[in-house]
Amino acid sequence: MVQIHKRFTDEQVKELIEKYLRKEISRNYLQEILGISKTRFFALVKEHRRDSSSFSIRYFREKKTRTIPKDIERNILKELTTEKQLIEHKDIPIRSYNYSYIKDQLETRYKQHVSLPTIIDRAKKNGFYLKKPKRNVHDREVLTHYAGELIQHDSSHLLLIGAIEPFRDRRNRASL
């Protein structure tokens, strides 16, 4: 639902509240028109009664939204750089960033709470994001001659050959 200060002007709301105070309009009907709850309605009435000349429904933010402090941003980039070094190291088998670990590190090491989507967003903006690799398509090759035939696919040919060799020697000796 759209906020009241975006749908009505100060004068419109002031006029409607004054009609309510003169008992020309019911509270339920006025709430429905304004699209607000009972609590919000009575807060507006109280504000209007306190000072009707300076009554306003305008809303101004005190600070910008969707921003994080510089020190948190710096710590996110520091931890992402550490992860990048681990990924690029040939002897360490890490192939992707662990953003949840970075979130945990920020909370334990720096006592800073940051959401996971914020960390991923900063990683994408600063080049610390790896796209998921394309998976190889696994073509199923039928190795059986008829339906229901069982084949042990995990057997090793070398072990099998090594196991047959002693039998061959015994057979040759028996025929001699």
Inside any domain, residue 74: yes
Range of the domain at 25: 4-50
Domain total for the chain?
Answer: 2
Domain boundary among 79, 98, 125: 125
Query: Of 162 and 33, which is predicted with more confidence?
Result: 33
Distance CA 110, CA 77 (A): 13
The dihedral over CA atoms of 86, 88, 89, 93, expressed in degrees to the nearest 10, equals: 70
pLDDT at residue 153 in the model: 57
What are the C-alpha distances in Å from 106 to residues 16, 35, 52, 73, 119? 50, 41, 48, 10, 10
Flag whether 90 is in a domain.
yes
Please report whether residue 130 resides in a domain. no
Q: Rounded distance, CA 69 to CA 72, Å?
A: 6
Instruction: Give the pLDDT score at 135.
Output: 81
Residue 59 lies in a domain: no
With tokens 């948190």, the residue in question is 72
Which of these, 69, 67, 64, 43, lies nearest to 55 by C-alpha position?
A: 43
pLDDT tens-digit series, residues 127-146:
998 888 788 876 666 667 77
0.85 cut: is pTM over it?
no
Q: Catalogue the E-assigned strands of 67-165.
A: none
| pLDDT tens per residue across span 2-28 | 788 889 999 999 999 999 999 999 999
Is residue 61 in a domain?
no
Let me know if residue 166 belongs to a domain.
Answer: no
Same domain assignment for residues 45 and 75: no
In this prediction, residue 154 carries a pLDDT of 57
| Residue 89 and residue 43 share a domain | no
Read off the pLDDT of each residue in 78-89 and give the average, rounded to a whole number.
93
Determine, yes or no, domain membership for 64: no
Residues 11 and 46 in one domain: yes
Does some domain include residue 168?
no
